[in-house]
A and B are shown apart, each in its own frame.
Chain A
Amino acid sequence: MEDQLESLTIIFTETYYWITVVFMFLIHVGFCMYEVGASRRKNMMHTLMKNTMVIPLVTVTFFYFGWWIYFGWPNGPGITGGVLDAPWATPWSELMGAHMGGAPVSDTLTADDTMGWARINGVFWAAFLLFSWTAASIVSGAAIERIRSFAFWILAVLIGSFTWIIDAAWGWSPDGWMVQLLGYHDAYASGVIHAIAGGFALGVLIHLGPRIGKFKADGTPRNIVPHNPWLVTIGLFLIYTGFWGFYVACNIPIFDVGPAAGMDKAFFTTTTIYLTPTTTSAITFNFLMSLSGGLLMGYVISKGDAFWTYSSGLAGVIAASAGNDLYHPIQAMIIGAIGVVFAYKMHHWVERRFKIDDAVGAVAVHGYAGWLGVVIAGFVLWGYPSSMNADYAPITPWGQFIGAWIMFGVLGFLPAWIAAGILKKMNLLRIPERVELAGLDLSEYHGRYLDKADIFEAEVEEARARSLIS
């Protein structure tokens, strides 16, 4: 790169996304701590490993096919056009590796491809990848203490490297067909990450069934108490922290929107993923206000229950995320609070009515709050442009309503319900009941328990032999 300003812009953008990735790593750390804390002692290590291995499995598959789907499938394919060429995103592309941006080796790439993508591809890929981990990790929490790791990891790849990135291509890219035809707007992923993951978790839970003992004979749910509430709360704090990275990763830090706006000069700004203008200040206001709306309402509605108050902070942000590029902060706060009421009430109604054992409230916090957030944006932002392209549909309640169901139902619930059903038929979905009763760690780590007993017994014998005890 020869031009200093251009170089600064590109290298700043590269560094910007890299920092978001580091922040977003904390989401996964938080999810692991949260899930382990929420599980019982007998299942801790299994719970930890189940979510930890999401990292390598979703990473490699997102490299192999997820990244290409994002750029290749904005048209459906088959809805507004065919599969698009994305030669920088195929796993065999020279741009999917260390590259200085010089002349392309492959004739499928242009010089323009190589100059920009050589610097941005890896960090942009990683930013999307961390969203993939989050989607899979949301599902992980709902299914703890009884799902087989094999089954979960297949399902994690399905949502992390396939279904969520299809929804991103459709509704979270500048030219996705949902943006073009429905005016779909979901700037910080109420539907694109959260509703889909919540719907996916629900599809899995229907086949998986509740943990043994969760429901009394009359159908009343029992409270399976987290073995370590402190780990749960620290985990949720870390998820809040990582959420900052998630929010800024949804933006493009410096972009010239002047030409798209019809101006005869440049206008540099931060934009959403739709390349529509916003500011980092706007989303900082709204992130904190929607978090606060969620926490305030969560405390009241749960009567001060720590688990639900913390989770409600997340639900508040999730409910407001679809329009947090444009809302007033007090609107964001109110929408966050409304999302919490809906999520909380729905969770308990679904639990009692359908005997769904959602161990961490993931379907509620992510699925119901995310779904409602997309719908609410349709009313509050009614008539706003969804794109810089004036030919695309504007934001409407009906476009958002259809979009919310595509996220939660079509790309979330349905693939999970089918895949989990197949795994169940193959007897690969749930661990054997005796092992569940004994505890997953007893099964996988019982040698360690025996070693503990052995070493204690040996120490007592040694102490006796040395006349240190009688």
Chain B
Amino acid sequence: MSTGLETWNTNLLDIGPLYPFVGTEMLLTIIGIASWIIWHLIQLRMESKIYAEEDALLSDPAKLKAAMDMSNAETLAETLKAHAPKLGG
């Protein structure tokens, strides 16, 4: 059983492809292109779901204002203060 190369003890000038399963290149190309397209579709679904959820959450003006205060804070202390005023002293 061998998936490709069987020995180095031969005339090296005759050796071509080194990878296993020579002859499957077209199949590998199809798998590669399909996986690339599928990746974009999965990512689009994930991203759309996250933005839809966050947009719904932030539709409450008070929550949006709190989130803006929090995200525009320059330091961790400011972030914590904006997020949880009771910890801010």
Please list the residues of chain A having a beta carbon within 8 angstroms of any beta carbon in chain B: 2, 40-42, 57, 60-61, 63-64, 91-94, 96-105, 114, 118, 148-150, 153-154, 428, 431-432, 434-435, 437-439, 441-444, 446, 449-450, 452-453, 456-457, 460
Is there an interface contact between B47 and A439, defined as CB atoms closer than 8 Å?
no
Question: Digit string of B63-84 for contact with A (CB within 8 Å is 1, else 0)?
Answer: 0100110111110100110011
Q: A92-B28, A435-B51, A438-B54 are in contact. Are A102 and B16 (CB under 8 A)?
A: yes
Is there an interface contact between A153 and B80, defined as CB atoms closer than 8 Å?
no
Is there an interface contact between B51 and A149, defined as CB atoms closer than 8 Å?
no
Contact partner, B67, options A2, A61, A104, A442, Cβ 8 Å: A442
Please list the residues of chain B having a beta carbon within 8 angstroms of any beta carbon in chain A: 12-19, 22-23, 25-26, 28-29, 32-33, 36, 40, 43-44, 47, 50-51, 54-55, 58-59, 64, 67-68, 70-74, 76, 79-80, 83-84, 87
- List chain B residues, Cβ under 8 A from A41: 71-74
Q: A105-B22, A149-B43, A154-B40 are in contact. Are A100 and B16 (CB under 8 A)?
A: yes
Is there an interface contact between B32 and A63, defined as CB atoms closer than 8 Å?
yes
- List chain B residues, Cβ under 8 A from A439: 67-68, 71-72
9 pairs from A and B in contact (CB 8 Å cutoff): A60-B32, A63-B32, A96-B25, A98-B19, A149-B43, A428-B44, A438-B58, A441-B71, A453-B83
Instruction: State the CA gap A452–B40 with chains docked (Å).
Output: 31
Report the nearest A residue to B22, measured CB to CB: A105
Interface centre among B17, B40, B79 (most CB of A within 10 A): B17
Instruction: State the CA gap A97–B71 with chains docked (Å).
Output: 47
Q: A64-B32, A453-B80 are in contact. Are A92 and B16 (CB under 8 A)?
A: no
Is there an interface contact between B17 and A443, defined as CB atoms closer than 8 Å?
no
Is there an interface contact between A97 and B19, defined as CB atoms closer than 8 Å?
yes
Q: A41-B71, A92-B28 are in contact. Are A435 and B58 (CB under 8 A)?
A: yes
Is there an interface contact between B67 and A438, defined as CB atoms closer than 8 Å?
yes
Contact partner, A92, options B12, B25, B50, B55, Cβ 8 Å: B25
- List chain A residues, Cβ under 8 A from B68: 437-439
What are the nearest 7 A-B pairs in CB distance?
A439-B71, A42-B71, A438-B67, A98-B18, A92-B25, A434-B58, A100-B15
Q: A150-B47, A434-B64 are in contact. Are A457 and B87 (CB under 8 A)?
A: yes
Instruction: State the CA gap A386–B76 with chains docked (Å).
Output: 58
Q: Min CB distance, A196 to chain B, in Å?
A: 23
Report the nearest B residue to A427, measured CB to CB: B48
- List chain B residues, Cβ under 8 A from A148: 47, 51
Interface centre among A148, A153, A438, A460 (most CB of B within 10 A): A438
Q: Min CB distance, A297 to chain B, in Å?
A: 34
Instruction: State the CA gap A4–B78 with chains docked (Å).
Output: 67
Instruction: State the CA gap A97–B17 with chains docked (Å).
Output: 7
- List chain A residues, Cβ under 8 A from B74: 41
Report the nearest B residue to A2, measured CB to CB: B13
Is there an interface contact between B40 and A153, defined as CB atoms closer than 8 Å?
yes
Is there an interface contact between A432 and B51, defined as CB atoms closer than 8 Å?
yes
Q: Min CB distance, B58 to chain A, in Å?
A: 4
Instruction: State the CA gap A439–B74 with chains docked (Å).
Output: 13
Contact partner, B64, options A2, A42, A438, A452, Cβ 8 Å: A438
Instruction: State the CA gap A114–B55 with chains docked (Å).
Output: 55
Contact partner, A150, options B33, B44, B59, B71, Cβ 8 Å: B44
Q: A42-B72, A94-B22, A105-B22 are in contact. Are A435 and B55 (CB under 8 A)?
A: yes
Q: Min CB distance, B66 to chain A, in Å?
A: 9
Instruction: State the CA gap A96–B18 with chains docked (Å).
Output: 11
Is there an interface contact between A94 and B17, defined as CB atoms closer than 8 Å?
yes
Report the nearest B residue to A104, measured CB to CB: B16
Report the nearest B residue to A40, measured CB to CB: B72
Is there an interface contact between A449 and B79, defined as CB atoms closer than 8 Å?
yes
Is there an interface contact between A453 and B87, defined as CB atoms closer than 8 Å?
yes
Contact partner, A94, options B13, B16, B54, B79, Cβ 8 Å: B16
Contacts A438-B68, A453-B83 aside, 16 further interface pairs with beta carbons under 8 A come to: A2-B13, A42-B72, A57-B36, A60-B36, A61-B36, A64-B29, A64-B33, A92-B28, A94-B17, A99-B16, A102-B14, A435-B55, A441-B71, A442-B71, A444-B50, A449-B79
Report the nearest B residue to A90, measured CB to CB: B29
Contact partner, A438, options B71, B79, B87, Cβ 8 Å: B71
- List chain A residues, Cβ under 8 A from B43: 149-150, 153
Q: Min CB distance, A459 to chain B, in Å?
A: 11
Q: A437-B68, A457-B84 are in contact. Are A102 and B12 (CB under 8 A)?
A: yes
Is there an interface contact between B32 and A102, defined as CB atoms closer than 8 Å?
no
- List chain A residues, Cβ under 8 A from B14: 102-103
Q: Min CB distance, A382 to chain B, in Å?
A: 45
Instruction: State the CA gap A94–B44 with chains docked (Å).
Output: 33
- List chain B residues, Cβ under 8 A from A434: 54-55, 58-59, 64
Is there an interface contact between A105 and B51, defined as CB atoms closer than 8 Å?
no
Report the nearest B residue to A60, measured CB to CB: B36
